[in-house]
Amino acid sequence: MDGKYILGIDIGTSNIKIFVGEIALDGHVTIVGSGQMTTNGLEKGVISNSNQLVKSIEQAVDCAVMATNISVKNAYIAIGGMELKAVNSIGSIAPSIPSNITIDDVNRVYRAAALVAIPDDHEMLHIFPQKIFVDKQRSIGLPLQEKGAHLEVEAHVISISKLTLKNLIEEIETLGIHVVGVIANAVAITEATIPVPDETFLVIDIGAGSTELILCQEGQLYFTTALSLGGNYITSDIMQGLDISWEHAEEIKKYYAKLNKQLKGQEVILDCNAYGTTDKHVSYDFLYKIIESRICELVYLMHEHSKIFLAENKIEKVFLTGGCGTMPGFVQSVEATFGIPVEVVALQELSLEYRAPENAACYGILKYAGKNLPEPQVAQESNLWRSLLSKCRSFFKN
């Protein structure tokens, strides 16, 4: 790493968002500037045109450089949506010496879980241990120096297509940016939003084209899944219902999100004129019906997709984040449908200009970078598993 600054690049369906972070020696992150650009080449969480996507990234980087007057060449990237494969997996091995389980044995059992979960054409991004067993008995911590003939781990594994990853990194590096690491969006969100380490909670990251459901237990990411639905469905409904352009519909959606729901039933007429339009006045009740009907449908689908882990885990709270996370309709609908208290993520440790929930992933990227900057002169594979084992020791500590 040639310097203390790094880019955190959040690749979203609607926008490419970039934070320029200053990383202190202790890993503390300070945001010194940002850049943003409309995303092209990404549809419903799937890369449709890598050239267009990288062009959007280049423009966002240019915005960040102009805003900060700092040229940064190193970056961590977060990607989510349907490009990722996230599954629970079980790995098992026989320790090399049954009388003394070693860190090498633990390393091998994690590798075994990863190999079972990852297709040949995929590459692992993350592995999160959930439970570890010695001779079918659950171990509270890492079972180092214990006796056992059988070692088993249950883990959550996240991977990405090797070809997608290779093409994305190569395209970005043509911009003169060195990609230090690629992480899952769910990991970035978790880094930024875990507020209650001892509780079990669900984070719902509602983006424009995809929604991620992230289950956290004891301060760790436990399970993730992605749905190809998001705020763009609401924009589309407004566009068709009011016979306006997509851009105009997006602005009306943002305008509506700031209005008080007590306007319903008051026969309020909204002035929704935009550049190039005249006499676009809309009944609040009509707009309410369009938007809230779609929100209820989206939340219903999220709940249906969550039923299994909702039944298996006692979830104390739901945290909402993402571009649509602040819409009052989502807060109320999730609380009513899930039957769990809901809170919108607030990044209180950041300055006011960066606290919005849609910045959670970008901030989380930088926090992840602060913890995981690569050590010099360490082979890539060795460093990956060294970092993994460090996290696993933390996870299984007493």
Spatial neighbors of 236 by CB under 8 A, at least 6 apart, are 246, 249
The predicted model gives 189-214 an average pLDDT of 86
The predicted model gives 246-271 an average pLDDT of 92
Examine residue 208 and state whether it is found in any structural domain, yes or no.
yes
Instruction: Tell me, yes or no, whether 325 and 314 share the same domain.
Output: yes
With a pLDDT cut of 90, the percent of the chain lying above it is 57
Q: Give the three-class secondary structure for 396.
A: coil
Asked whether the predicted pLDDT for residue 370 surpasses 60, the reply is yes
Question: How many structural domains compose the chain?
Answer: 3
Lowest mean pLDDT among 108-112, 146-150, 256-260, 393-397: 393-397
Closest alpha carbon to 348 in 203, 195, 213: 195
Examine residue 122 and state whether it is found in any structural domain, yes or no.
yes
Pairwise CA distance, residues 114 & 108, whole Å: 10
Asked whether the predicted pLDDT for residue 74 surpasses 90, the reply is yes
pLDDT, tens only, 276-333: 666 789 999 999 999 999 999 999 999 999 988 888 888 999 999 998 888 889 999 9
* pLDDT class of 59 with cuts at 50, 70, 90: very high
Instruction: Tell me, yes or no, whether 144 and 217 share the same domain.
Output: no
Instruction: Tell me, yes or no, whether 9 and 71 share the same domain.
Output: yes
Instruction: Tell me, yes or no, whether 36 and 180 share the same domain.
Output: yes
Examine residue 191 and state whether it is found in any structural domain, yes or no.
no
Residue 230 has what pLDDT?
A: 92
For residue 36, give the amino acid letter. Q
Helices (H), 214-283: 232-242, 246-257
Residue 2 has what pLDDT?
A: 45
Strands (DSSP E) found in the chain: 5-11, 15-23, 29-38, 42-43, 46-47, 74-79, 84-93, 122-134, 137-139, 151-161, 178-184, 200-206, 211-217, 220-227, 269-271, 281-283, 317-321, 342-344
Burial class (CB in 10 A: 0-12, 13-18, 19+), 18: buried
Domain containing 361 — which CATH number?
A: 3.30.420.40
Closest alpha carbon to 41 in 164, 159, 163, 136: 164
Q: How many Cα atoms sit within 13 Å of 132 on the Cβ side?
A: 25
Closest alpha carbon to 338 in 209, 193, 203: 203
Examine residue 105 and state whether it is found in any structural domain, yes or no.
yes
Q: Range of 75's domain?
A: 5-82+163-186+350-373
Examine residue 222 and state whether it is found in any structural domain, yes or no.
yes
Closest alpha carbon to 112 in 387, 385, 332, 319: 385
Residue 380 has what pLDDT?
A: 46
Residue 83 has what pLDDT?
A: 79
With a pLDDT cut of 70, the percent of the chain lying above it is 91
Examine residue 138 and state whether it is found in any structural domain, yes or no.
yes
Instruction: Tell me, yes or no, whether 119 and 132 share the same domain.
Output: yes
Instruction: Tell me, yes or no, whether 107 and 133 share the same domain.
Output: yes
Instruction: Tell me, yes or no, whether 13 and 70 share the same domain.
Output: yes
Asked whether the predicted pLDDT for residue 44 surpasses 90, the reply is no
The predicted model gives 234-258 an average pLDDT of 93
Examine residue 219 and state whether it is found in any structural domain, yes or no.
yes
* pTM score, whole prediction: 0.87
Instruction: Tell me, yes or no, whether 207 and 170 share the same domain.
Output: no
Residues 164 and 83: beta-carbon distance below 8 Å? yes
Pairwise CA distance, residues 182 & 84, whole Å: 12
Provide the 10 A C-beta neighbour count for residue 9.
Answer: 26
The predicted model gives 335-342 an average pLDDT of 95
Instruction: Tell me, yes or no, whether 235 and 294 share the same domain.
Output: yes
Residue 78 has what pLDDT?
A: 94
Instruction: Tell me, yes or no, whether 10 and 33 share the same domain.
Output: yes
The predicted model gives 61-73 an average pLDDT of 90
Burial class (CB in 10 A: 0-12, 13-18, 19+), 34: buried
- Kindly report the average pLDDT of the chain as a whole number: 87
Residues 396 and 139: beta-carbon distance below 8 Å? yes
Instruction: Tell me, yes or no, whether 143 and 241 share the same domain.
Output: no
Asked whether the predicted pLDDT for residue 63 surpasses 90, the reply is yes
Pairing of β 317-321 and β 342-344: parallel
Domain containing 130 — which CATH number?
A: 3.30.1490.110
Spatial neighbors of 255 by CB under 8 A, at least 6 apart, are 270, 272
Instruction: Tell me, yes or no, whether 255 and 317 share the same domain.
Output: yes
Which helix (H) or strand (E) element contains residue 355? none
Pairwise CA distance, residues 76 & 57, whole Å: 13
Pairwise CA distance, residues 317 & 212, whole Å: 16
Retrieve residue 172's tokens. 């970005």
